[in-house]
Amino acid sequence: MATETRTPVVAARGGGFLIEERKVEEVFTPEDFTDEQRMIGETAAEFMEKEMVPRLPRILSLDYGATRELLRKAGELGLLGVEIPEEYGGAGLDKVCGCLVSEKSARDGSFAVSFMGHTGIGTLPIVYFGNEAQKRKYLPRFAAGEWISSYSLSEASSASDAMNAQARAVPSPDGASWILNGEKMWLTNAGFADVYITFAKVGGEHFTAFIIDKGSPGASLGAEERKTGIKGSSTCPLILQDAVVPKENLLGEIGKGHKIAFNILNIGRFKLGAGCVGGAKGALRTAVGYGKGRQAFGHPITDFGLVKHKLGEMAILAWVAEAMVYRTAGMIDRRLAGVTRAAEALPCIEEYDVECSMIKVWCSEMLDYVVDETVQVFGGSGFVEDYPAERYWRDARVNRIFEGTNEINRLLVPGRLVRRAMKGELPVFDKATALLDEVAAPPAAAPEDGGFLAAEARMAEGAKKAALIGLGLAAQRYGAGLSEQQEVMGHFADIAMETYALESAVLRARKRAAARGEDACRLQAAAVRCFAQDALDRVEVSARRLLAAVAEGDALRASLAALRRFTRREVENTVALRRQVAEAAIDHGDYPL
C-alpha cells in the first residue's frame, strides 16, 4: 500500500527555522492527516486496546512469549512493516505514518520500547544500508513478526562515545567469516530476539556494522538487567567470544558504521518524540479520570485550582510536542518525495538532525513533567504499584537516556548549526551580524495587529533573534573552542528548542484557524497564548545566562538591552488561559485539543 503524497509542506532547510519565516501552508500539522494516515493511526490504537491491554500483566512480568505473540499479531496487521518497502513485505508508508504508529504504541512503556526497538533501530539499518540479499532475507520476516531484531551499539566503557567502541572484528583465517570479540550493552529485545545489529571495529580501527543471527557460535547473552522502569521489556548484554559471523553479514561498508549508527539515531530521536506524545496523552487521560473520582473536602480534586494548573499544563505541553513532531515528520516526508532508493533517503533525514535532537530532548522532558504531575494528582496512590501512575513515572525516565542522552543531544544542536554555518549552508552568523546592526538602530515602532495570534508570532520571532544573538556572540568569543563550552552550548540549545516549540505551536493553531475559522480554535489559541508566555520566560532566562558567559562590561549591557527588546511583550493572564484548557480536559475526560 503506497502512501499518498499530499503532505502540504515545503522542503525547508534543516535548522532553517532560526533564520526563515514559515507560512502556515508550508507546515504539516496533525490536522492535515490524510485518510490513509488516520486509518493507520486508528488501526494501531485499536490494536493496543484490544490486543496489548489484555496481555499487559504478562508483558509486565517479562513474559517473552506474550511480547513475541503480540509483535506477531502486529505484523499480521502491517504495523511492523510501515517503513519497510513493499517489495520486501512492508507497506512503504511515510514518516508521518511511522510517527502515528509510534505514538499509539506508547499506551504502555514496556511494549512501546519492544515495538519501537524492533521497527526502528532494529529494522531500519537493513532498510537503508542492507544489500539486496540481506533485505530479502531479513525484512519480510521482520515485517511479519516472524523474526525480532535488536540493536547493540553501546558498551560499558563507551555509551555516548560510541566511536570509542572496544569490540573488535577480524577476518577468519579462511576469509569466510568475521570473528568478533567484545561485550555490548543495553540490547532492547535481546532476550527473545533472533537478530542483533552490532557494531565493532575492524582491525581495531574501522567502525563497522554487522548482522549477527541468534545462535551464532561464540555469541551469547548475559542476564536480564534489573531496570528501574520498562520492566516488561527485555534488556541484556551481548557477549562476543570469538563469535563467528558470515562474511555476507557485514552491513554496509567497512569503516562506515558511524553513518548507520548516527542516521538511525536521527530517526529514532524524532520517533521517540512521537512516543512521548502518546505517553503524555495517556497519562493525562489517567490523571483526569482519577482526579474526577477522588474526593477532598467534599469536592472532586479536579475542582481545585492547583490541580487544574497541572492538568492544563499537561494538555498544553502534549499539544505543543505533537505540533513539533508532526511538523518535522512532514518536512522529512516532503524532502523524501520522489526518492526511490533507500540510500538516497539518508541525506533527506540527516538534513533535519538538529530538529530530531531538539524533539528528543524537549519531548522526553515534557513527558517527565506530565508523568510526575500524574503521580502528584494520584497523591499517595501514585506511589504504589496498585495504580498505573508510578509505572508511567518509572517508564518515562529512560527516554532522557535513550537515543543519545539529553546532554549529548543538547550539544549536537549548536554544534551542527555552527558546522553548517561554517560550510556556508546556513547563514546564521550573517543573520546575527544583521541583528547587531538592528540593535544599534533606534527601536522600530510597535507593529500593528497582524491577525490571529499575531502577538505570539512576534514572540516566536523575538525568540529567534535571542537565539541568533546568543550563538553569534558565543562563536565570536570562543571560535573553534566553542565545543568545549558545554554550558554555553546547553543554554543555546534550550533557547533553540523553546523557539522551535513556540513557532510550531503558533503555526499549527494559525493553520487550523485558516481552515476552520477562529471560533473553532479558541481552545487551541488559549493553549498557544499560555505557552508563549512561559516559553519566552524560559528563553529570557537561558539567554541571560548565555550572554553573561560570553560577554562582559558594555558589551554585556548592550546584549542584554537587545534581549529585552527582542522579548518585550504584553503580559497575559496565564492562570485563566491554562484553566480554560484544564476545564476542557476535565469535561472531556481526556486530552481536549
pLDDT score of 38: 98
The answer to whether position 4 is within a domain reads no
Per-residue pLDDT, averaged over 315-329, amounts to: 99
Hey, which residues does 150 pair with through a beta bridge?
196
Residues 209-228 have a mean pLDDT of 98
Same domain, 262 and 355: yes
Does residue 9 form part of some domain?
Answer: no
- Average pLDDT for 121-136: 97
Digit-coded pLDDT (tens) for 363-406: 999 999 999 999 999 999 999 999 999 999 999 999 999 999 99
CATH of the domain at 57: 1.10.540.10
Q: Using 50, 70 and 90 to split pLDDT, how confident is the model at 338? A: confident
User: pLDDT tens, 424-460?
Assistant: 999 999 998 888 777 777 766 666 667 999 999 999 9
- Stretch 199-220: mean pLDDT: 97
Q: Is residue 8 part of a domain?
A: no
Given a cut of 80, is residue 324 above it in pLDDT?
yes
**Would residue 444 count as lying in a domain?**
yes
157 shares its domain with 198: yes
In contact, 546 and 492? CB cutoff 8 Å: yes
Per-residue pLDDT, 159: 65
**What DSSP string describes 426-463?**
S-HHHHHHHHHHHHHSPPPPPPPP-STTHHHHHHHHHH
Could you tell me if 424 and 326 lie in one domain?
no
Residue with cell 558504521: 257
The residue among 148, 171, 194 that closes a domain is 148
Mean pLDDT, range 136-149, rounded to an integer? 99
Q: How many structural domains does the chain have?
A: 4
- Over residues 151-158, the mean pLDDT reads 90
**pLDDT beyond 70 at 72:** yes
Q: What is the CATH number of the domain that holds 162?
A: 2.40.110.10
The single residue listed with the C-alpha cell 499517595 is: 380
How many other C-beta atoms are found inside a 10 Å radius of the C-beta of residue 415? 17
Please report whether residue 62 resides in a domain. yes
Q: What is the pLDDT of residues 527-548, one digit of tens each?
A: 999 999 999 999 999 999 999 9
Same domain assignment for residues 387 and 430: no
Contact 375, 384 (CB under 8 A): no
Q: How confident is the model at residue 2 (pLDDT cuts 50, 70, 90)?
A: very low
Q: Do 143 and 73 belong together in one domain?
A: yes
Return all residues near 218 (Cβ < 8 A) that are at least 6 apart. 179, 180, 240, 241, 242, 243, 244
Assign residue 537 the CATH number of its domain.
1.20.140.10
The stretch 469-484 carries a mean pLDDT of: 95
Task: Tell me which of 206-210, 288-292, 450-454 is least confident.
Answer: 450-454
Same domain membership, residue 444 and residue 385: no
* pLDDT score of 5: 43
d(CA 413, CA 399): 18
- Residue ending a domain, choose from 148, 174, 208: 148
User: Can you give the residue range of the structural domain that contains 205?
Assistant: 151-255
Identify the band that residue 3 occupies on the pLDDT scale cut at 50, 70 and 90.
Answer: very low
CA distance 591 to 68: 31
Domain boundary among 371, 405, 439: 405
Residue 387 CB coordination number (10 Å):
18
Helices and strands: H and E segment counts in the chain: 19, 10
Residue 180 domain-assigned?
Answer: yes
Contact in structure between 315 and 590 (CB atoms under 8 Å): no
For residue 445, the model assigns a pLDDT of 66
With cell 514518516, the residue in question is: 95
1 occurs within a structural domain: no
pLDDT, position 576: 99
What average pLDDT score do residues 284-292 get?
98
Which of the residues are catalytic?
403
- The grid coordinates listed for 151 are 540493536
* pLDDT > 90 fraction of the chain, expressed in percent and rounded: 91
Residues 6 or more apart whose CB falls under 8 angstroms from that of 208 comprise: 169, 199, 200, 201, 202, 250, 251, 252, 253, 254, 255, 256, 257
